[in-house]
Structure 1
């Protein structure tokens, strides 16, 4: 048995297909991020293309992350990558000062799956400070999302965030009412209900973009995971011994959450005076303040940006591009 076969978590995943998937994602991300970060401000159709390209970037980073979990990448390594998954989701869905974005709508099955996955991953990876940021993705279209799904609001409440009354689970969801019932059931009934949910989950998600992808030739899928089953198991402290080996249950994430403390939220840098400094801005995000900025990715890179202008990526060996507020705010001398 190869190392890949030994380590993989997704039973349907094969090594050649996984390698092709990761290579394809990397290629698409490289191409689209170059367009998004470098070409967007120059285009006459930038208002429309921002939404299209940011959605592609968000989807590819998420698929890459799920694929790596399926392939058996260590949880600690995945955790270090998860912040990026959230950041590109925010760039795609939160309001932008210049360009058009598209919020999540929970009555769309793809969006419902993604939000529950992000919420579950944040908590199970113990990046607790990211949970409110993920909830904010649904608050953008507040009246369309909040108070529309009882399971989502129950999870929000259990996570310690303000919830809103909701009469029932979305009508499109066939298995999730079982999960809602579980949250209200006595502890001795919960494992059986979870097993019922897991056995029904995949078939009930017909219509989701990834459904039946493992049957394609060539295979093209990142893995099937009911991440919310792990979140509920963890939050309600359920004994999962009777269902932990069922398909779609992310047992490694639950085990990790139960044995690790929350990751501390990064603190903003402060100067010698103790006053907060302006944060570094990753390429692709809007400039938060008009002025002169520079990036360590390139020598003599000091440049003037207007608030709302997209800050570009620099092709260099330095790594990802982050723009920093320049101590020198004077215009260049002629």
Structure 2
């Protein structure tokens, strides 16, 4: 394996942050407070339900952040994919234990997580994980409905997700990509480039907990990625040559998806689903 500084994908990630997250993930298995066992969670809920929910939520978050950091740090993608699979499994564990916990679309962090997890399910060819994600999103209109999320789920064959006429909860920056979906591939490619230029400065991303960590707390920096640009590149079979070297584009993840034959497989599977409607 190459030295850390040579292999890392995010320019701001540090080896200390990488090691911190590997250690944090290991603690989730060894520290008895962070139970994986369902029966232990039931006991914890009975004794102190609020505390049990907090530690369960934290465990779930760590297992989502870990593959994120591993990708930023340049880990081999087959290993990152295995950690993504476990992140979904643990998210399912958390939902089963605390069904009242869910992602609310009006929250910038929750919206980003939904976009990221949806992207991973496609880029790592894990369609079975999409149902886990959907189960973790609130369907209460009070928690937000969104036309872009609706459009993405619809493109992935999920047609009962609400929000078709809802408008956009986070116009800046997601409106750029949403508006481009009605255009040609060339329109979408131009929009992708403009989006990547705007993404980090946008209102929604400014509201996320992980933004700017590289400058004030680099030891817990996760990496900066607009994973949804990879999702749409694969789904819509876009030529990424005009933006593949731009900051925040998950180029290696997209390339890996194509190399494995998954990009074509995903599109063919979705085309077959549309043909059955």
Question: TM-score, normalised on structure 1?
Answer: 0.70
Q: Deviation of residue 106 (structure 1)?
A: 0.8
Q: Deviation of residue 184 (structure 1)?
A: 1.3
Q: Deviation of residue 239 (structure 1)?
A: 0.5
CA contact 2:7–2:73 (8 Å) conserved in 1: yes
Moved more, 212-221 or 115-124: 212-221
Aligned to 2:74: 72
Question: SS of 1:48's equivalent?
Answer: helix
Aligned 1:189-204 pairs, distance under 5 A? 189-204=187-202
Question: SS of 1:200's equivalent?
Answer: helix
Aligned to 2:174: 176
How far apart are the structure 1 equivalents of 2:155 and 2:99? 33
CA contact 2:115–2:227 (8 Å) conserved in 1: yes
Aligned 1:101-180 pairs, distance under 5 A? 101-138=100-137, 141-144=138-141, 148-162=145-159, 163-164=161-162, 165-170=164-169, 172-180=170-178
Aligned to 1:11: 11
Aligned to 2:256: 256
How far apart are the structure 2 equivalents of 1:81 and 1:13? 19
How far apart are the structure 1 equivalents of 2:147 and 2:191? 17
The higher radius of gyration belongs to 1
CA contact 1:51–1:101 (8 Å) conserved in 2: no
CA contact 2:34–2:56 (8 Å) conserved in 1: no
Aligned to 1:286: none
Question: SS of 1:142's equivalent?
Answer: coil
How far apart are the structure 2 equivalents of 1:133 and 1:42? 24
Distance change in 2, residues 1:142/1:101 (3 Å): closer
Output one character per residue of 1:124-159: Cα deviation in whole Å (capped at 9) or x when no partner.
001122223322222xx2133898111111111111
Distance change in 2, residues 1:14/1:110 (3 Å): same
How far apart are the structure 1 equivalents of 2:250 and 2:233? 10
Q: Deviation of residue 109 (structure 1)?
A: 0.9
Higher relative contact order (CA 8 A, sep 6+): 2
Aligned to 1:54: 56
Q: Deviation of residue 258 (structure 1)?
A: 2.0
Q: Which has the higher helix share?
A: 2
Aligned length: 257
How far apart are the structure 2 equivalents of 1:198 and 1:136? 29
Answering whether residue 209 of structure 2 is matched by residue 219 of structure 1, we say: no
Distance change in 2, residues 1:42/1:93 (3 Å): closer
Q: Deviation of residue 23 (structure 1)?
A: 2.5
Aligned to 1:83: 85
CA contact 2:105–2:144 (8 Å) conserved in 1: no
How far apart are the structure 1 equivalents of 2:173 and 2:48? 41
How far apart are the structure 2 equivalents of 1:31 and 1:173? 41
Structure 1: give runs of 5+ residues left out of the alignment.
Answer: 265-334
Question: SS of 1:238's equivalent?
Answer: coil
Question: SS of 2:192's equivalent?
Answer: helix
How far apart are the structure 2 equivalents of 1:254 and 1:231? 8
Q: Deviation of residue 110 (structure 1)?
A: 0.9
How far apart are the structure 1 equivalents of 2:6 and 2:236? 31
Question: SS of 2:220's equivalent?
Answer: coil
How far apart are the structure 1 equivalents of 2:206 and 2:155? 28
